[in-house]
Chains A and B, each alone.
Chain A
Amino acid sequence: MIEDQKLAKEVIARRIAREFKSNQIVNLGIGLPTLVANHIPAEINIYLQSENGIMGMGPAPAPGREDPDVTNAGGSHVTVLPHGSYFDSATSFGLIRGSHVEYTVLGALEVDQEGNLASWIIPGKKVPGMGGAMDLVVGAKNVIVSTLHTEKGKSKILKRCKLPLTAVKVVKMIVTELGVFKVTPQGMILTEVHKDSSVDEIRANTEADFTVAADLKTME
């Protein structure tokens, strides 16, 4: 287990960035998923979409160059690349619901072995709202959950989510600092294990049931 959370998040972000191919539209959630943008290989040209109305989002502007009217869905100042565009929220969610977005990467409060996701509410404690998450996970072709494997020693990957769901059976892939799972109708499959971890360590830290892929790979 990687103890340093910052390092663990970098491992996750680096792995997810390898999934994308040129010309795909990708939506990255706030927090850990945002780190994925730093690891996209230079030869891959994807379009980062931001649900507040950007296609082709670029990095944060240099200090002093911020435009108050150019922000991402988290409210942070961003830039738009020369091939980018702006649009209204209805168009933005048309892109999302209409399956034009290839990947959506987001965090989870809980995720389970059937691909159910809980990410928007802890009743009685935290009620921020779902924002665009429900549309994103239903509409995008591929839903990748990026999460630290455990929180306070407890598995984030459960047999069954207990919190109110964001969507039912939508998650296709789960990437943690320990490994990569594919979620299939037949169940969850461990496809990669981090070079400093092991199948045994993953079993000990995962509540969900899973099988190990015959061609199990090593994750850098």
Chain B
Amino acid sequence: MFNKLISKQQFADLLKDDMVLMVGGFLGCGSPEALIDIIIEKRVKNLTIICNDTSFPDRGIGRLVAEKLVGRVLTSHIGTNPETGRQMVEGTIKVELIPQGTLIERIRAGGMGLGGFLTPTGVGTVVEEGKQKMTIEGREYLLELPLRADLALVKGGMVDKAGNVIYHGTARNFNPVIAFSAETVVAEAGKLVEIGSLNPESIVTPAPLIDHIFVPGQS
């Protein structure tokens, strides 16, 4: 009835050069490391990555940067990955720094049918450059626009075979939000469980949002 499990090869077939990817993780916590392994193995190039931070050179999203597969990154922090800074200075990677709350809300807007939103964050700073400003009840706001991706890579704590996801600890971060905002969503399952074994009250990401499930260790 549900056939969402994909092989390493089937995931590799989804990857194309110049793709826009959203990837979960906060300083590497909650990143789909097994899917990242497959991206590195296939060596797709000039990826645009939308993520909280570029992690460390040897962890999570940071490994994609270190492997020089990323042409552009939209993120809130690059300070823990010297390789991102080095490639930025060298001119081989474009970095768009976005306040963390604005970044996640732009992703949320992209997935929840909103044409944008007004935020006070960044008013009076370089963040406001080129953006429309609006005054609502005497307070200034910036108009921020939605973000969407071709592919979102989610790390689930427990995933059932239908695609329902629950997360563990702070590994949740961007994951349930990016699951709304891409054409195709792949969940890497920390643990795959049978349908019916997760409590419907506890499910964070409803099954239909997940297109494919990858279980690390599968061929």
Residue numbers of A with Cβ under 8 A of B are 50-54, 67-75, 80, 86-90, 92-93, 96-97, 126-135, 138-139, 164-168
Contact-residue bracket for chain B: 35 or more
Q: Which of B2-36 contact A (CB under 8 A)?
A: 26-30
7 other A-B residue contacts (CB within 8 Å) besides A75-B27, A92-B104, A97-B119: A75-B26, A75-B29, A130-B99, A134-B121, A135-B100, A138-B120, A167-B121
Residue numbers of B with Cβ under 8 A of A are 26-30, 52-53, 75-80, 85, 88, 97, 99-102, 104-105, 107-108, 119-127, 157, 167-177, 204
Pick the residue among A72, A90, A133 that contacts B177 (CB under 8 A): A90
Q: Which residues of A contact B176 (CB under 8 A)?
A: 88
Given contacts A75-B27, A135-B100, A165-B125, A88 and B85 within 8 Å (CB-CB) = no
Given contacts A71-B26, A86-B169, A168-B125, A129 and B77 within 8 Å (CB-CB) = yes
Q: Tell me the smallest distance from the CB of B57 to a CB of chain A, in Å.
A: 14
Asked if residues B77 and A86 are in contact (CB atoms below 8 Å), the reply is no
Q: Which residues of A contact B100 (CB under 8 A)?
A: 51, 89, 93, 130-132, 135
Q: Which residues of A contact B101 (CB under 8 A)?
A: 93, 96-97, 132, 134-135, 139
Q: Which residue of A lies closest to B125 (CB)?
A: A165
CA gap between A96 and B28 in the complex, in Å? 22
Q: Tell me the smallest distance from the CB of A10 to a CB of chain B, in Å.
A: 26
Q: Tell me the smallest distance from the CB of A144 to a CB of chain B, in Å.
A: 19
Mostly, the B contact residues are mixed
Pick the residue among A67, A69, A71, A126 that contacts B27 (CB under 8 A): A71
Asked if residues B53 and A53 are in contact (CB atoms below 8 Å), the reply is no
Q: Tell me the smallest distance from the CB of A127 to a CB of chain B, in Å.
A: 6
Q: Tell me the smallest distance from the CB of A74 to a CB of chain B, in Å.
A: 8
CA gap between A133 and B121 in the complex, in Å? 9
Q: Which residue of B lies closest to A78 (CB)?
A: B170
Q: Which residue of A lies closest to B107 (CB)?
A: A90
Asked if residues B168 and A69 are in contact (CB atoms below 8 Å), the reply is yes
Q: Tell me the smallest distance from the CB of A158 to a CB of chain B, in Å.
A: 17
Q: Which residues of A contact B127 (CB under 8 A)?
A: 130, 134
Q: Tell me the smallest distance from the CB of A59 to a CB of chain B, in Å.
A: 15
Q: Which residues of B contact A134 (CB under 8 A)?
A: 99, 101-102, 121-122, 125, 127
CA gap between A17 and B79 in the complex, in Å? 28
Asked if residues B97 and A130 are in contact (CB atoms below 8 Å), the reply is yes
Closest 8 CB pairs of A and B: A128-B79, A93-B101, A135-B101, A168-B124, A69-B169, A75-B27, A129-B77, A132-B100
Q: Which residue of B lies closest to A134 (CB)?
A: B99
CA gap between A72 and B29 in the complex, in Å? 10
